[in-house]
Structure 1
Amino acid sequence: MVARRTYIVEEGPNPSTDYFVLPALKHEVNPVIRCTWADLPSEQDLAYSSVIFVRYVPANWKQRIAQVRSTLARLVYFMDDDLFDYQASTGLPWKYRYKLAVHATRHRAWLQQMKVSLWVSTPWLKAKYASHNPALVEPEPIEAPSPACRVFYHGSASHRDEIEWLKPVIEQCIDANPSISFEIIGDHTVNQLYRSIPRVTVVHPMKWPSYQTFLATPGRDIGLAPMLDHPFNASRSHTKFFDITRAGAVGIYAKPGPWEHLIAHEENGMLCPMEPQSWVDAILKLAEAPAIRQALVQNAKEKITFLSNPRVL
C-alpha cells in the first residue's frame, strides 16, 4: 500500500508556514512533512501525496512536480504577499524583488498549467486573484514555546578567539537541548560565523551607556566568561562577574581566570577549565536545573553586596 503524505515545501522555518499553513493542516489525516528546497522526495514517495509550496517554487521541485503531477493527490501554492504581480514590489530592495521574481512571480503560468489550488492569506489577495478561485487561509496564534534557557556571551572585538572557541560548544548545547538559545554580541563576521546555528541571536556592538540598558533587560539565564591563554588576557579584571550577575544570570567562568577569588564553584557560579566538553556539560547541567540557577544567582548577588560594603583594609 502506498503511504500518502503531505509535503510542505519551504525555504526554511518561517512565519508563513507557522501562522497559516500548519493551522490549515491541523486536521490533516496524512503525515505532514516539512521539506526545505534541498529535501526532494523520490517520485515513488510523492505518488498519491499532497505538495504545498509556501511562497516560492524552487527549480528542483518544479522539475520533479512536472514529472509526477498526474499522480499527486493535491498541489497547493500559498502566498501571504502579492507575489504574482512584479509591480506590487516596486520600491522594495532590488535583491528582494529579484528573489520574488525568480522564485515566485515567474512561476504563475506554470502553476496554472499544473492546476494548482491557490491559498491566500487576506481578503485583498482573494479578491485580486478571484480568477484563480483561491481559498482564504486565516492565521492562528502560535503556541507558546516551552520554558526557554537563554545563554549569552557579551565579548568585545578583543575576544575574537573566544567567540570562535565557543562556536562548537554552543552548537553541541543547542543540538542537545531544544530549550536553549544563545545571544552573542558581534559584527558581521560574527553573524556569518554563527548564522548556521539555530536559535542564535547576534546583537550589534553598542556604546557602554546603551549596553547598560541592554544588560538590564530581563530574560537571560546563563552568562559565559571564557578566557583563552593569550598575553592580552593576562591583565583582565573580574568585571564579567558583575555584568553577568547584574543580568540576573548565573555565570560559567574560565579557570584559571581573574574571578577565581570570587567564585566558589557551584555556590555562586561555576568554574570550568577551557576544555569544550567541560563547558558543554556545565551549560547543559544548568539549563536543566532552574532551581539551582536561581540559588547560584542569589548567592552571587549576596557576594556583590558584600563587596560593595565599605571595608577597612
Structure 2
Amino acid sequence: MLKVLSFCGDKIPSVVLGINNIFEYMSDKIDIDFTFKKTDMVKSKDIREADIVICVRGASDLDRDIVKLAKIYNRLIIYYLDDDLLNIPKYSSVAPFYENKQIRENMISAMENSDILWTANTNIRKKYGVYFERSYVMDIPVNIQEIKREKDQSNIKNEDVVKVCFAGSSDHIHMVDKMLSPGINHIAEKYSKEVYFYIIGVKPKKIKEFSNVKIVEYFHNIQEYYEFVAKNKIDIGLAPLEASDFTACKYYNKFLDYTCNGMVGIYSDVEPYKLIVKSEFNGMLAKNEERSWEELLEKLILSKELREKIYFNAVKEVKEKFSYDYIMEKVLENIPEIKNQKKYKIKKRNLYLEKKVDLSSNFIVQRVANGFKIYGIKYLFIGSYKAVYKTLKYLKRKLNYAEEKK
C-alpha cells in the first residue's frame, strides 16, 4: 500500500480543504494510506515510511529540514501553496513572519527541493512554478446539497426577513468600512423590518448601531461557523476584495463557502472571483465602490426570483466542477504517482538530519525562540494568546468527551 504523509504547521483550512479532504476521500477509493501530522509532530521515521510527502505552506526551519530529508530519501515531494506568501501585504497580521529573511530562505529551499507545486490558483502557478519541475492548478472539492427555502414568494414585502452576512477576520476592517459600511447603514435603516445583517469576525468602525445589525465574534472553529450560518438561514453573503497582485493569488473560497451554505454571493469584480463568477448568473460582481455594493445588495434583497436563479446556477456549477469524484480524477491524471509511485529503499540513512528533525519536533524552546526572533517583544502577547486559546480548545474537547460518556 502506498503511504502518503501530509504536514503543516497547524490543522488550518488550507491543509484540510486543499489536501486532507481529497486524500481521505481517495484513500477509500484506491489503495493508499494517508496520514496528516502537524509539522512539530513529524519524526524521521514518518519520512522513511512514506512514499509521498506533501508539505503545505512550509516555511519554518523544521519544514525545510523535513523536505530536505525526504529529498535525500528519494520520496516524491509535493508542495501545496494557496497564498502569495513571499509578497504578504504590510497590513496582514502574519506579515512579520513571512518578511523574516530566514523564513523566506526556508520557504524557497522547501520549494526548490520539492518535485511538484500543487495550487488552486493559476496566478500562483505563474509566480512560483519556476521553483518546480512540475506544477498543477486543481480546484478544491466540496460536498453540496441544495438548500430549499420554505416560502415561494417572489418579493420582499411578502416574505420573512432577508438575512445578509459578511464573514472575515480583523485584517478586513478597512475594506469593510471602505466598501460595505455606507451601504449597510443605508439599507439597515431603509429596510429595518425586512433585512437583518450579521457581521462576522470584524468590528467595523463606520457601521452604525441598528437593531437589525449584529456583530458576531470570529469563529476559530470553522464547523461552528457553518452551524451558525445554517441555524440562521442566511440568504446573501458579501465578499469584498481589494484588487492587487497578492489578492489575485487567493482562491475563490467564498464562492464555494456561500454556495454550499445556501447563500447567493456578491463578490468584488476582481480576480480570483471574476475567474468563476458571471454576474447575475451564478453570483453578483460589484465594482469596488460603495455605491455599486449598495445597488447590487438592494437589487438582490428586493428580488427573491433573482436570488433563486443565481443560487440554482451556482449549485449546478459546484456540483459539476467541484465534486470529489471530479477533482479526484484531475489529481490522479496530473499526479499518477499517487497510484503507482515506486517504493524506494533507503540505501544509506542520513542520521545527522534525522536527529535534527527528531530533536526539533515538538521542541517548545525552539518555537519560543523563533517567535521572539520574528516578532520581538510582541511575541509575549501573541504567544500567551495562542497558549490560552489552545488550552481552552483542549478543555472544551475534554468536556465534550465527558458529556458523551454520560
Question: TM-score, structure 2 length as denominator?
Answer: 0.38
Between structures 1 and 2, the one with greater helix share: 2
Q: Which has the higher contact order (CA 8 A, sep 6+)?
A: 2
Max radius of gyration: which structure? 1
Question: TM-score, structure 1 length as denominator?
Answer: 0.49
